[in-house]
């Protein structure tokens, strides 16, 4: 009788394990684009310099809802959504704060001068620390923060004409 060498099956076992991980990555549980582990949690203390040379501290919303919009002058989808942000700013009293993510302040200033300024304040996030603290996955990305300081919603990607009314409704 021929003896079976169990070590010969190790490559097959490794191949099956790698295949299983691949299939889990392809078809496993997915997180919706709008989900975030921060939804329902208080906004972390955000402070930084503004484009105008001042400083801002968002650790307290002062009982006022906020829309935080991460953008960059080098971001083509940000340019696409900018018109919607301008319209939203004209249609609401909710404070819209822009966060210039990993952008040169001179380029941000040119961007705003060219397209218009819908923001009540623009925070310069040159190193990306603010974005990292909120789990930013890329620009554009928009967060709705309630008057109680709790993050209510995260919108990933550019705001479209269809998205704008829904975001404003969530911010009220």
Nearest C-alpha neighbor of 105 from the set 140, 54, 149, 155: 54
pLDDT tens for 77-132 read 999 999 999 999 998 889 999 999 999 999 999 999 999 999 999 999 999 999 99
Cβ 69 vs Cβ 101: under 8 Å: no
Domains of the chain: 47-171 (3.40.30.10)
pTM of the full predicted structure?
0.78
Cβ 151 vs Cβ 39: under 8 Å: yes
pLDDT for the residue numbered 29: 63
156 membership: H or E segment, kind and range? strand 151-156
- In the chain, what percentage of residues exceed pLDDT 70? 94
Nearest C-alpha neighbor of 142 from the set 74, 66, 58: 66
pLDDT tens for 157-166 read 999 999 999 9
């Amino acid at each position: 009788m021929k003896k079976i060498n169990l070590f010969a099956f190790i490559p097959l076992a490794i191949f099956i394990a790698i295949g299983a991980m691949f299939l889990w990555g392809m078809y496993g549980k997915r997180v919706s684009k709008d989900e975030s582990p921060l939804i329902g949690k208080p906004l972390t203390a955000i402070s930084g310099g503004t484009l105008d040379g001042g400083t801002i501290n968002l650790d307290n919303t002062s009982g006022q809802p906020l829309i935080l919009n991460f953008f960059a002058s080098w971001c083509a989808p940000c340019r696409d959504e900018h018109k919607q942000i301008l319209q939203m700013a004209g249609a609401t009293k909710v404070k819209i704060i822009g966060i210039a993510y990993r952008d040169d302040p001179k380029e941000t200033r040119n961007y705003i001068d060219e397209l218009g300024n819908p923001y009540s304040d623009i925070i310069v996030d040159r190193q990306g620390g603010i974005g990292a603290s909120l789990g930013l996955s890329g620009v554009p990305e928009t967060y709705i923060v309630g008057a109680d300081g709790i993050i209510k919603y995260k919108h990933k990607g550019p705001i479209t004409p269809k998205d704008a009314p829904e975001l404003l409704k969530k911010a009220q």
